[in-house]
């Protein structure tokens, strides 16, 4: 089907054609027209939510991906395309807020673990990088290493206090913390210099 004919179709008709199993070329053209038609409106909604142009673009990109993933469930006879897209966008925004709250909590925990003599800006930067790049490695540590590491570097306890909580000899507790640090440096090599600030 020629592009001129497709341009005359409503957004719902474009999606019906996509769902009907059209040729790859027509699929791409229908989707291109749909994005061109609704992108600016979606970006406006995303910006009003996020108040950040970069984040708005990221949310809209995720929204289109979500739209394609959920296409089998979408019924253009019951719901307008933009209404469906907006519901996906809103879900992506709420998910971002949940991640942001969780990240802020991690940042606060990690900030408390930083040495007091690290300057404020360096402290904040280090904690942010740790939360993004290192936290998943912390969670992947074996429980016997993760528990003392968290007590010392997340909760800010002394080695002696951590040993008492875990009912371990002091030397064993220290060795396990050092083993955790070695693993983190091994699996996150770009954070070696950062981890030196907390070791």
Task: Identify the pLDDT of residue 101.
Answer: 56
Residue 123 has what pLDDT? Answer: 44
90, 57 in Cβ contact below 8 A? no
pLDDT at 162: 86
Supply the angle between the helices 24-50 and 81-113 in degrees, to the nearest 10: 50
Query: How does pLDDT run along the chain (199 residues), one tens digit per residue?
Result: 567 788 889 999 999 988 888 888 888 999 999 999 999 999 999 998 888 888 888 889 989 999 999 998 999 889 999 999 999 998 888 877 765 555 455 445 554 544 444 444 444 444 444 544 556 677 777 777 888 887 887 667 888 988 888 888 888 888 888 888 877 766 555 444 444 444 4
| Residue 191 near residue 185, CB atoms below 8 Å | yes
SS3 22: coil
Give dist(CA 54, CA 56) in Å, integer: 5
CB 63 within 8 A of CB 35: no
- Ordered by start, the domain boundaries in the chain are 3-96, 114-196
Domain 3-96 - what CATH class?
Answer: mainly alpha
- pLDDT confidence of residue 145: 81
**What is residue 122's predicted lDDT score, i.e. its pLDDT?**
41
What fold characterizes domain 114-196?
Arc Repressor Mutant, subunit A (1.10.10)
pTM of the model: 0.52
Q: What pLDDT does 36 receive?
A: 94
């Amino acid at each position: 089907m020629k592009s001129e004919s497709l341009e005359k179709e409503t957004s719902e008709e474009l999606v019906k054609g996509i769902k009907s199993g059209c040729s790859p070329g027509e699929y791409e053209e229908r989707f291109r027209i749909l994005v061109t038609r609704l992108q600016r409106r979606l970006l406006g909604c995303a910006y009003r939510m996020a108040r950040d142009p970069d984040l708005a673009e990221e949310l809209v990109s995720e929204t289109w991906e979500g739209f394609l993933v959920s296409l089998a469930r979408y019924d253009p006879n019951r719901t307008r395309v933009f209404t469906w897209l907006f519901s996906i966008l809103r879900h992506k925004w709420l998910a971002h807020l949940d991640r942001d709250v969780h990240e802020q909590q991690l940042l606060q925990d990690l900030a408390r673990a930083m040495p007091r003599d690290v300057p404020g800006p360096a402290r904040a930067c280090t904690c942010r990088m740790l939360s993004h790049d290192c936290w998943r490695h912390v969670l992947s540590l074996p429980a016997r290493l993760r528990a003392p590491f968290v007590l010392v570097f997340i909760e800010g306890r002394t080695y002696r206090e951590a040993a008492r909580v875990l009912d371990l000899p002091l030397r064993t507790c220290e060795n396990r913390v050092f083993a955790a640090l070695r693993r983190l440096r091994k699996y996150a090599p770009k954070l070696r210099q950062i981890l030196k600030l907390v070791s």
